[in-house]
Amino acid sequence: MDFKDKIVLVTGASRGLGKVIALDFAAQGAKVVLVGRHMRTLEDVEDAIVSRGGDAMSVEADISNAAAVQALAMEVGLRYGRVDILINNAAIAHLRPLVQVTQDEWEEMTGVNLHGMFAVTQTFLPGMIERKSGVIVNVSAAIARNGFPNLAVYSATKAGILAFTEALSKEVRRYGVQVYAVMPHGINTDLYRTLFGATDPTKILSPERVSQDIMRVTAGEGGIRSGQTLEISV
């Protein structure tokens, strides 16, 4: 896969799956915009990319905040001028019974997982429509279809991603913009271990495996059409 000089924006890029996605796209020649809430860890990823001869920029942004997303757009515009590929990966989860979920936790999960995806997509989509080219990949999770106790809100946000993907794909198909979702089962990341504890790594997905599948989908090699979801399992 060759992504030479493509501008790829990855949310949640400071660690876990997002970090691996960013490194993999950079290794294939892409210029990567790293978005997350912690500049220090973003810059660690940026340094890793640059040390290997790649091109990347870090933008600290809370994508649940509209002003932060607009500031992100300005920074990307000044540096690269466009976004060709958008990977909506950022996610937050709180593991607790629904009756114990606070309003702040509800707003944080829906704010990042759904509103953040909406805001970033809405911001960069007009440029894709104008150029009649672009790819958006939204990262859901198997929990979207197989609800898990104490994760009702998180499950709902991940299910919303699937509906968003299908609907948006129908809106933008005539403009040459492709919209996909990926739905991995458990991924061996800090978030997964926080939610579910230590797990035999042979029984869950590696971030590297999921990242490669995302790249294939982005390149049109995932075996699915725009609007569809690629389910990824061990």
What is the residue extent of each domain of the chain? 7-232
Dump pLDDT digits (tens) for 190-203: 777 777 776 666 67
- The per-residue pLDDT for 201 is 65
Q: Which pTM was predicted?
A: 0.95
Give the residue among 158, 210, 206 at the shortest CA–CA distance from 21.
210
How far, rounded to the nearest angstrom, does the alpha carbon of residue 228 sit from its chain's CA centroid? 16
pLDDT at residue 209 greater than cutoff 70: yes
154 is annotated as an active-site residue: yes
Instruction: Look at residues 177, 69, 192 and name the one whose alpha carbon lies nearest to residue 128.
Output: 177
Query: What is the CATH T-level fold of the domain 7-232, as seen in this structure?
Result: Rossmann fold (3.40.50)
Write out the H or E segment, with its range, that includes residue 60.
strand 55-60
Mean pLDDT over 79-105 rounds to 97
Q: Does position 63 have pLDDT exceeding 90, yes or no?
A: yes
Q: Specify the pLDDT at position 1.
A: 72
Q: Which of 80, 154, 180, 192 is catalytic?
A: 154
**CA atoms of 42 and 63, how far apart (whole Å):** 15
What is the structure's pLDDT at 137?
99
Nearest residue to 49 (alpha-carbon basis) of 63, 79, 35, 28: 28
Identity at 168, one-letter amino acid code: L
pLDDT band at 107 (very low <50, low <70, confident <90, very high): very high
The kind and range of the H/E element at 134 are strand 134-139
The amino acid at residue 130 is E
Nearest-Å Rg of the Cα atoms of the chain is 17
Q: Are 17 and 182 in contact (CB under 8 A)?
A: no
Residue pair 10/22 in contact by the 8 Å Cβ criterion: yes
Contact residues for 63 (Cβ-Cβ < 8 A; gap 6+): 11, 35, 69, 72, 90, 112, 115, 116, 117, 119, 120
As a whole number of angstroms, the distance between CA 81 and CA 96 comes to 42
The per-residue pLDDT for range 20-44, each reduced to its tens digit, is 999 999 999 999 999 999 999 999 9
- Tell me the backbone φ, ψ of residue 136, rounded to 5 degrees: -120, 130
